[in-house]
Chain A
Amino acid sequence: MTRFGRAQLVAFLRAIDRNLTADVEILVVGGAAVVVGYGAEAMTSDIDVLKMVGSKEAFGEAVHNARQETGLAVGVSGATVFTSPDGFEERVRSARGLHMERLTFKVPEKYDLALSKIAASGQRPHDLEAVERMHVKHHLSRMTLVERFEREMRNVSVLDSRQLSLTVAIAVARLYGYEEGKELARKYGVPVPRLKK
């Protein structure tokens, strides 16, 4: 039986859990966190692990066995780049409705995750798509999103501040409309495209 989207990744995670011989906790970011943690209807075939507590060997073996059992070619690897608001680690939470025996699956809080995907979305359109699908399931307040960005990310991140501000304005335009994006772009001093008539 073929499962799709969240059900597919959950099937894979449960297979990992069944095959684990020791307790492991993982903090997952990226698309898998959006899909499993927030139920967004998106497709991802890779799980980016930012932090792991427990036996690496036991986890690696369980992942291998889970692939064989489920037939799913899901990549599981360390997150190489993760740009997020400054205090995100204090806000991580367990994925709702996913109780497993040995595997604990943690994800960033929704605004932290959305901002990390937005930061990555320059030149990666699927990240912006993922944020939008997350917004459909778990409404993101414009005020909270922008405030969190300005207070904990804009001047803290190692990324180019202008580029980051532009990607946030683009994301705000996608989520809340052109006028909202334009207002923010003007505030940040980044280019404002004209609305074609």
Chain B
Amino acid sequence: MKSKVMTSLGRRGGVARAQKLDDARRKEIASTAARKRWQGPALVIDADPRDSGELLNFVANYGAKVSKKTASCDLIGATMRALRVSREDPFLSRMLPVFLWRVRNEISVDDLVTRSRAARLGPVLGYFLELTARVSGFGGFAEAISGLRRDAVGVRPTYFYKRTGESPFEAMAADEWTPSFAKRWGLLTGTSVESFASYFKKVRDL
């Protein structure tokens, strides 16, 4: 089997045979191998994300017109995992509004709210739903946002990113730069709406 693969890549024989080849032939073999290696889909969504790398890719690409999807998965479960991981990974949190907007017609928002509340993720979900509504203009989350407000009443503000509290400089910046709507969810994000909006604008239609 292996030799068939190697043959298809243009590789036959061992070191001695390779050394006998002229430069042009070597270049041709290397270029065939490179073409084979880099061709084909670089992303296949075939199951629930299995680790943090797959989760990041899932959030970045799921629901996009170009993404190859070969299996259904627990979308609400994946969304909740993304909400949790977003507090450690600013790259993922930047992508979440695009993801929520792409899956807006695929998920039951009521189920997402119920399961998120049970997992104590209510204010985080509320923040991202409101953010998504702000950057996309989508009005379908309004009821859920309004219901989730209760979860944030009287909540002591905490730094959204777990690392922020460890650095006095970043904590100071988060105190100063957090938009007021995020503070209403009890979250000191230090991230402007514009940061999410510019990314949303670039990738929403892909």
Contacts and interface: CB of A to CB of B under 8 A. Distances in A.
B33 interface: no
A129 interface: yes
Nearest to B161: A125
Contacts of A11: 38, 42
B66 A124 contact: no
Contact of B43 (A3, A14, A18, A80): A3
Interface string A166-189: 100110011000100100010000
Nearest to B35: A18
Contact of B38 (A14, A74, A80): A14
A150 interface: no
Contacts of A122: 173, 177
Interface string A117-158: 000001111101100000000000000000000000000000
B41 A71 contact: yes
Interface in A72-105: 72-75, 77, 80
A29 to B, nearest CB: 14
Interface residues of B, number: 47
A191 B66 contact: no
A126 B120 CA distance: 25
Contact of A45 (B65, B194, B203): B203
B190 A193 contact: no
Contact of A44 (B34, B41, B44, B91): B91
Contact of B177 (A8, A42, A70, A123): A123
Q: Is the interface of B mostly helix, strand, loop or mixed?
A: helix
A193 B194 CA distance: 26
A75 B43 contact: no
Contacts of A194: 168
B53 A4 contact: yes
Contact of B206 (A74, A173, A181): A74
Given A11-B38, A11-B42, A181-B169, A46 B199 contact: yes
Contacts of A74: 203, 206
Contacts of A23: none
Interface string A39-75: 0001111100000000000000000000111111111
B42 A8 contact: yes
A129 B90 CA distance: 8
Interface stretch (B9-17, B18-26, B54-62, B132-140): B54-62
Which of A18, A42, A43, A125 has the most chain B CB atoms closer than 10 A to its own CB?
Answer: A125
Contacts of A174: 167, 169-170
Contact of A42 (B60, B91, B202): B91
Interface string B33-51: 0110011111110000000
Contacts of A67: 66, 206
Interface in B118-161: 161
Given A2-B42, A4-B57, A71-B42, A125 B169 contact: no
Contacts of A193: 168-169, 171-172
Given A77-B202, A178-B168, A193-B172, A71 B61 contact: yes
Contacts of A125: 90, 161, 164, 170, 189-191
Given A2-B42, A126-B91, 20 more contacts: A1-B42, A2-B54, A12-B42, A45-B61, A45-B203, A67-B206, A70-B40, A71-B42, A71-B61, A72-B67, A74-B206, A124-B192, A125-B170, A125-B189, A126-B195, A128-B170, A129-B91, A173-B169, A181-B169, A193-B172
Interface of A: 1-5, 7-8, 10-12, 14-15, 18, 42-46, 67-75, 77, 80, 122-126, 128-129, 166, 169-170, 173-174, 178, 181, 185, 191, 193-196
Q: Which 6 A-B pairs have the closest CB atoms?
A: A73-B64, A126-B90, A193-B168, A11-B42, A75-B202, A123-B192
